[in-house]
Amino acid sequence: MDLSFKEKALRAISRLRSEHKEVLLVHHDDADGISSSALIKVALEREWFKVKTLCLERLYPQVLRNLHKDRRAILYVDIGSPHANLISEYNGGRNLTVILDHHNPSPTEDLSIFDLNLEYSGLKGETDFSSSTCCYLFAKELDERNFDLSYLALVGSLEIPGKPSSLTLQVQNEALEKNVIRKRGGSFVSTKLGLGISQIFSSLQILGSVGYYKGGPEVGIELCLYGQTSEVKKTVKALEVERKKANKKLIANLYKERLRQSEHVQYFDSGEAFKGMGTKVIGTFCSFLSYQARLINSSKYILGFMDVPQQVPGWGSLEERFVKASMRVPRDMQSSIMQHLMPSAVDLLQRSTREIGGVADGHDFAASCTFPIEYKAELVGRIEKAIQELRRPKG
């Protein structure tokens, strides 16, 4: 954490304390988003704020417009940084807005918006920190005694590949030193809950995505704070079986029909395979697909489509119909992106959906977007055009 993060956090906290008693906490639906929400919820309630949570898969313009029409404080966790300008547009300077995120940010000069993304401090959200890390640092600026929430920061950080490093390693060492976590074999356990950090992470990934339309994110927050009851365990198991059946059916279908191909993209439509589940599952499936060497072309982007249900749990119904597209970069392609010879996944989706009312965010090797359903047949062509515009020729 550098000085700029600390200064911005303290300014945001000062305004929160002096101007607001209630906070709307908007969070993403994966393990990082749910653990981040649980962490910030507790930290704010300890300060006597009244906190309402809302889990969103995507920041749809219609939802943003509605959320920002009333005067109140809004915190976005694990969602928001790539859309800071859009948030600013709908906020109109009315509401104090704090963003705690690790997705590639889009800078805004709006003084009512505090984007505390640590990428502004020179760190990389894909490798160095998670949203839960940002949330933990913010919570400690609220009160140093919030160190007892460090186990939740470590839950969210498990989405970062590889061994803990950078800020994640610092948080892990602090949690061990203060007995917030303890070692058990080769893993770590929350001292408070008696649950493995990786066990919590895995449960949240299922509750938030597969169970998005069945109250899963709310159950996930309860799990983070109070542990895993027999009922929660039963729910997670049932949702996991449901997802495995869908994955098995879809992968068998893809082996039979193969992925469709353009010059740089291999793509498929999930159809009804994930009906009733949150759209996060299409991204998880694309990640799984990226390791299926016998099925994919390791030199092309992977793109999966899933129709978006119009109902947004806890908010209402979308007027338009949308499609979600998730993109993953096979391991063999990643060096080309790191060398800037090929565009990143997030740059491609942002460029190709901007003119059709799409909303895209993510990282270099994993990104997603939603866009109006009438442009579904056009997206691959738009991506190919964006590749030609963005790629750097060899030599």
Instruction: Assign 1 a pLDDT band (cuts: 50, 70, 90).
Output: low
383 shares its domain with 303 = yes
Q: How many CB atoms lie within 10 A of CB 11?
A: 12
**Are 167 and 302 in the same domain?**
no
Query: Any idea which residue has 């079986």 for tokens?
Result: 241
pLDDT 10s digits, 331-359 = 999 999 999 999 999 999 999 999 999 99
Q: What does the alpha-carbon distance between residue 254 and residue 329 come to, in Å, rounded to a whole number?
A: 18
26 and 162 in a single domain? The answer is: yes
Domain containing residue 345: 259-390
pLDDT band at 2 (very low <50, low <70, confident <90, very high): low
Same domain, 196 and 278: no
State pLDDT tens for residues 6-16: 999 999 999 99
Is 240 within the bounds of a domain? no
> If pLDDT is split at 50, 70 and 90, which confidence band does 3 have?
low
Clarify whether residues 216 and 274 are in a common domain: no
The rounded mean pLDDT for the chain is 95
Same domain, 50 and 10: yes
Establish if 254 belongs to a structural domain.
no
pLDDT of 395 reads 47
Which domain CATH number covers 266?
3.10.310.40
Residues 32 and 79 in one domain: yes
Which residue, 230, 250, 272, sits at the end of a domain? 230
Within this chain, do residues 199 and 283 fall inside the same structural domain, yes or no? Answer: no
- This prediction has a pTM of 0.92
> Would 7 be classed as within a structural domain?
yes
| Whether residue 296 sits in one domain with residue 164 | no
3-class SS string, the chain? CCHHHHHHHHHHHHHHHHHCCEEEEEECCCHHHHHHHHHHHHHHHCCCCEEEEEECCCCCHHHHHHHCCCCCEEEEECCCHHHHHHHHHHHCCCCCEEEECCCCCCCCCCCCEEECCHHHHCCCCCCCCCHHHHHHHHHHHHCHHHHHHHHHHHHHHCCCCCCCCHHHHHHHHHHHHCCCEEEECCEEEECCCCCEHHHHHHHHHHHHHCCHHHCHHHHHHHHHHHCCCHHHHHHHHHHHHHHHHHHHHHHHHHHHHCCEECCCEEEEECCCCCCCCCCHHHHHHHHHHCCCCCCCCCCCEEEEEEEECCEECCCEECCCCEEEEEEECCHHHHHHHHCCCCCCHHHHHHHHHHHHCCEEEECCCEEEEEEEHHHHHHHHHHHHHHHHHHCCCCC
Indicate the residue among 185, 214, 230 that finishes a domain.
230
Is residue 393's pLDDT more than 70? no
Domain of 52, CATH number, reads 3.90.1640.30
* pLDDT at 235 > cutoff 50: yes
Residue 205 lies in a domain: yes
Q: Is there a domain that residue 249 lies in?
A: no
Residue-level pLDDT at 70: 86
Considering the domain architecture, whether residues 208 and 69 belong to the same structural domain is answered as yes
Nearest to 117 by CA among 153, 78, 72: 78
Domain boundary among 181, 210, 230: 230
Can you read off the two tokens belonging to residue 335? 């060096």
**Residue 85: CB partners within 8 Å, gap ≥ 6?**
106, 108
Looking at the domain assignment, is residue 245 inside a domain? no
Whether 169 and 278 share a structural domain: no
pLDDT digits (tens, 9 = 90+) for 164-200: 888 999 999 999 999 999 999 989 999 999 999 999 9
Checking if the pLDDT of 392 tops 90, the result is no
Residues of the chain above pLDDT 70, percent:
98
224 and 265 together in one domain: no
Give the model confidence (pLDDT) of 14-70 as tens digits. Answer: 999 999 999 999 999 999 999 999 999 999 999 999 999 999 999 999 999 999 998
User: Structurally, how many domains does the chain consist of?
Assistant: 2
pLDDT tens digits for range 261-299: 999 999 999 999 999 999 999 999 999 999 999 999 999
